[in-house]
Structure 1
Amino acid sequence: MAEDPERQMQAVALAVAPNGGRRTRADHPALPQTAEELAATAAACLEAGAAMLHCHVRDREGRHILEADAYRAAVAAVRRAVGDRLVLQITTEAVGRYRPHEQMEVVRAVRPEAASLALAELVPDASHEAAFGTFLEFMKAENIVPQIILYHPDEAVRLKDMMARGVVPFDDIPVLYVLGRYTEGQRSAPADLLPFLAPGAPHFKHFMLCAFGAREATCVATAAALGGHARVGFENNLHLADGRLAPDNAAIVRGVADALGALGLARADADGLRAQWAALN
């Protein structure tokens, strides 16, 4: 039986962030770093229920890089492994190493399907707004889907103001709410989501959530029950919902997929996620 299109439009997209820019194999031996390891992880996470892969690439020493050739190699390897059955999103995260123009340049060079953009990094003050607006115009023309990372509700207010003033050339835009920061021992809780969804807070039709620590699954399930989408994986968390160390990213994805099913929530596949994004504008 064919998938109900309306159900796909309402379904929860489950993304995996399998490595991030900070963790190494010292944190977990199954953390993927090479293009081939990312491809194998992508295939396993697709089977476990993921619709999207959030991709970081590393140099030979395992350090986070924003280099076009490394991204091209990773994209090619993942596409060989899963075809178009996963949305492939690259990161522009600075990790203290890159400036805004360098973060934007890698997207221009790679032209990926999607890219995540931290508002606080790319627009640290008003003097960066014009360059950011021009960059988003490029992404729109190239059909590259932006996802704006928001670490605090005040950033959501700022983003909506930029949209109202025409700096952001989209009627609506996908966002990622991050519960917490990259700090030692960071632990997120479901209640951390409430300020983003409070009455009077800016509303975005498509929001995704990621959270730090062992309550990751509870946090993203809460977001999904409230109309959002979920991003999980070793970037922010190494544990299963019961507190055990996860053997790999696919185990985390599978656990969250099962939890969403237990809540009666349908899961979007990659084409369903693409359709949800396309419907925003």
Structure 2
Amino acid sequence: MNSLHTAAEHGRGIAIAVAPNGGRRLKADHPALPLSPAELAECAAECLDAGASLVHIHVRDDAGRHCLDVARYRAAIDAIRGRVSDRLIIQITTEALGIFKPAEQMDLVRVLHPEACSMALREIVPDASYESAFAVLLEWMRRERVMPQIILYDLADLERLQEMLQRGLIPAQDIPVLFVLGRYTTHQQSSPADLQDFLQASPSFAHWSMCAFGRDEAACAVAAALMGGNVRLGFENNLLLPDGTVAANNAALIAPVRESLRLLGRRIETAETQRAALEAIW
């Protein structure tokens, strides 16, 4: 039997996160892609109203390129907080995009001291020589109350994290994870069936989320939610509504998922309730 813990078993609803920009797309891809602090703040407010409890943000340099600049992150965080206060969890990313080394990713977390941070396992711990530094960072994050989320792209990533957990490199009995569906499939078009590789591995993670690529993003999200996971939507991975038309903005991608879950009797988490759930495991 699959040992995966479900949200219902822990008395939780479904948490909806939004990833509104990512590190690759530009205004040419969609004019409503939020890049500046003011645009991110307005987008965050729209997505809060649509049902999101967490916003996952990237920042760009003057040329629009992905960066890990502390000052730019602070400006974006301040703008979002000024617009929505603490009604959204703000999660930054250490995504490397082939540019930043593990030490630079780890330095960002320590200097910025964000509320939450996502980290791709294969980027921040590319091989065993980085495991010790990663373990030290996680110890610091737990002590400083910075909530991690480990990004897992495939079954190999999942098995590696489980093995690290078993060896005691994770300073807790559990850690939040994000399953990325379809990252390396043809044309990066995800399907709800992509969940099976992760779920059949019987992961023991109590707080798992998923994100997906392409027009079936909403279908993947609803499937994951019904299986006990949380969901992440947004322009970072997808611009299309379920009918294949281009979404007007990030909030429009949340609407069909929230409505489907409402009709199915699922409760949607707020930032306050999601914080409590995260703090219970970290």
Moved more, 175-184 or 207-216: 175-184
CA contact (8 A) 2:74 2:112 kept: yes
Q: CA deviation at 1:55?
A: 0.7
- The equivalent of 1:222 in structure 2 is 223
CA contact (8 A) 1:239 1:246 kept: yes
Q: CA deviation at 1:224?
A: 0.2
SS for the counterpart of 1:10 is: coil
- Alpha-carbon distance between aligned partners in 2 of 1:31 and 1:136, rounded to the nearest angstrom: 32
Moved more, 59-68 or 12-21: 59-68
Amino acid across the alignment from 2:100: Y
- The equivalent of 1:3 in structure 2 is none
Deviations 1:49-87 (A, max 9, x none): 100000100112111100100000000000000000000
Corresponding residue pairs, total: 275
CA contact (8 A) 1:9 1:275 kept: no
SS for the counterpart of 1:268 is: coil
Q: CA deviation at 1:182?
A: 6.6
Deviations 1:204-236 (A, max 9, x none): 101000000000000011000000000000000
- Alpha-carbon distance between aligned partners in 2 of 1:36 and 1:163, rounded to the nearest angstrom: 39
SS for the counterpart of 1:90 is: strand
CA contact (8 A) 2:182 2:191 kept: no
Q: CA deviation at 1:101?
A: 0.5
Amino acid across the alignment from 2:34: P
Q: Which of 65, 68, 75 in structure 2 is aligned with 1:66?
A: 68
- Alpha-carbon distance between aligned partners in 1 of 2:144 and 2:77, rounded to the nearest angstrom: 17
Gaps in structure 1 of 5+ consecutive residues: 1-5
CA contact (8 A) 1:195 1:201 kept: no
- The equivalent of 1:25 in structure 2 is 27
Q: Which of 37, 40, 57 in structure 2 is aligned with 1:38?
A: 40
Output aligned runs, 1:109-188, within 5 Å.
109-181=111-183, 185-188=187-190
Deviations 1:124-153 (A, max 9, x none): 111110010011111111100000000012
Amino acid across the alignment from 1:104: M
**CA RMSD after TM alignment:** 1.5
- Alpha-carbon distance between aligned partners in 2 of 1:7 and 1:243, rounded to the nearest angstrom: 35
- Alpha-carbon distance between aligned partners in 2 of 1:206 and 1:266, rounded to the nearest angstrom: 16
Amino acid across the alignment from 1:253: I
Q: CA deviation at 1:264?
A: 1.4
- TM-score where L is the length of structure 2: 0.94
CA contact (8 A) 2:181 2:211 kept: yes
Gaps in structure 2 of 5+ consecutive residues: 1-7
Q: CA deviation at 1:201?
A: 2.7
- Structure 1 residue 210 corresponds to structure 2 residue 249: no
- How has the CA–CA distance of structure 1 residues 37 and 8 changed in structure 2, closer, same or farther, with 3 Å as cutoff? farther
- The equivalent of 1:256 in structure 2 is 257
- How has the CA–CA distance of structure 1 residues 115 and 174 changed in structure 2, closer, same or farther, with 3 Å as cutoff? same
- Alpha-carbon distance between aligned partners in 2 of 1:35 and 1:107, rounded to the nearest angstrom: 19
Q: CA deviation at 1:9?
A: 3.8
SS for the counterpart of 1:279 is: helix
- The equivalent of 2:194 in structure 1 is 192
SS for the counterpart of 2:236 is: coil
- Alpha-carbon distance between aligned partners in 2 of 1:7 and 1:83, rounded to the nearest angstrom: 30
- The equivalent of 1:96 in structure 2 is 98
- Alpha-carbon distance between aligned partners in 1 of 2:81 and 2:11, rounded to the nearest angstrom: 24
- Alpha-carbon distance between aligned partners in 1 of 2:67 and 2:232, rounded to the nearest angstrom: 21
Q: CA deviation at 1:203?
A: 2.0
Q: CA deviation at 1:7?
A: 10
Moved more, 58-67 or 179-188: 179-188
- How has the CA–CA distance of structure 1 residues 8 and 262 changed in structure 2, closer, same or farther, with 3 Å as cutoff? farther
CA contact (8 A) 2:50 2:255 kept: yes
SS for the counterpart of 1:185 is: helix
Amino acid across the alignment from 1:98: F
- Alpha-carbon distance between aligned partners in 2 of 1:8 and 1:240, rounded to the nearest angstrom: 31
Amino acid across the alignment from 2:66: H
Amino acid across the alignment from 1:207: W
Deviations 1:32-65 (A, max 9, x none): 0001100000000000110000010011211110
- Alpha-carbon distance between aligned partners in 2 of 1:109 and 1:183, rounded to the nearest angstrom: 36
SS for the counterpart of 1:121 is: helix
SS for the counterpart of 1:61 is: coil
